[in-house]
């Protein structure tokens, strides 16, 4: 039987409406695609317990509405105390990528120093309609010292990899010590350079 979690960590998902935040969380928590969806209004969260090394932790996954003007101030309250942040765009919609600039600047201003940040390009299963090159995503991630992945909430591609990686960095920051933060930032910088996140699509 699974051990009781040692800690609960808050992870916040950011990005425009329709990029797949809710579908990603559903896929990670259930292992199944979500099907037809309606836009998230306000805030909602789901819990997922997982093992990272010898530790068992629970991730509290906060799903935010993508209507920036209506909910930006509310969202900021949530990621100000986040243990990890995932900023997502739809690789078939260039506008969703452009909108991330504002989110990322806000994270830099409001989130805790050294909080793990992941940039996610969703809908890799629709890569034939790609409007945002992987190199553009990697460039933005590098600019903000973030990890970068392309994924698919529909097929499950890279979902487990993303969250396991994030969880390992969240654990490094337990206690909020400056040493832990420095180690986490150092490891983060190295990992994003060498990580190859492509999925083979049949």
pLDDT per residue of the chain (202 residues) written in tens, 0 to 9: 456 667 999 999 999 989 999 999 999 999 988 776 665 555 678 999 999 989 999 999 998 766 554 455 656 677 778 999 999 999 999 999 999 988 888 888 888 888 999 999 999 999 999 999 999 999 999 999 999 999 999 999 999 999 999 999 999 875 443 334 444 444 444 344 434 455 654 4
In CATH, what number is assigned to the domain containing residue 184? 3.40.50.300
Asked if residue 37 belongs to a domain, the reply is yes
Q: Is residue 202 part of a domain?
A: no
The domain in which residue 72 lies consists of 7-192
Q: How many domains does the chain have?
A: 1
pTM of the model: 0.82
Angle of helix 178-194 relative to helix 159-172, nearest 10 degrees, comes to 150
Residue 40 lies in a domain: yes
Q: Is the dihedral of CA 84, 23, 64, 93 positive or negative?
A: positive
d(CA 147, CA 196): 11
Residue 131 neighbours by CB under 8 Å, 6+ apart = 91, 92, 93, 94, 97
Residue 15 maps to a domain = yes
Alpha-carbon torsion, ordered 75, 55, 1, 160, to 10 deg: 50
Query: Is residue 142 a part of any domain in this protein?
Result: yes
């Amino acid at each position: 039987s699974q051990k009781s979690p040692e800690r609960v960590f808050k992870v916040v998902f950011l990005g425009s409406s329709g990029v797949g935040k809710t579908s990603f969380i559903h896929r990670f928590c259930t292992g199944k695609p979500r099907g037809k969806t309606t836009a998230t209004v306000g805030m909602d969260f789901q819990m997922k317990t997982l093992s990272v090394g010898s530790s068992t932790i629970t991730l509290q996954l906060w799903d935010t509405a993508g209507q920036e003007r209506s909910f930006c101030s509310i969202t900021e309250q949530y990621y100000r105390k986040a243990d990890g942040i995932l900023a997502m765009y739809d690789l078939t919609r260039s506008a969703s990528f452009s909108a991330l600039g504002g989110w990322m600047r806000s994270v830099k201003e409001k989130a805790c120093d050294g909080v793990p940040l992941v940039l996610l390009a969703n809908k890799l299963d629709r890569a034939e309609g790609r409007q945002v090159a992987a190199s553009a995503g990697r460039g933005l991630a590098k600019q903000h010292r973030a990890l970068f992945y392309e994924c698919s909430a529909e097929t499950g591609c890279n979902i487990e990899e993303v969250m396991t990686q994030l969880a390992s960095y969240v654990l490094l920051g337990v206690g909020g010590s400056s040493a832990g933060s420095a180690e986490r930032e150092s490891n983060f910088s190295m990992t994003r350079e060498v990580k190859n996140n492509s999925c083979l699509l049949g």
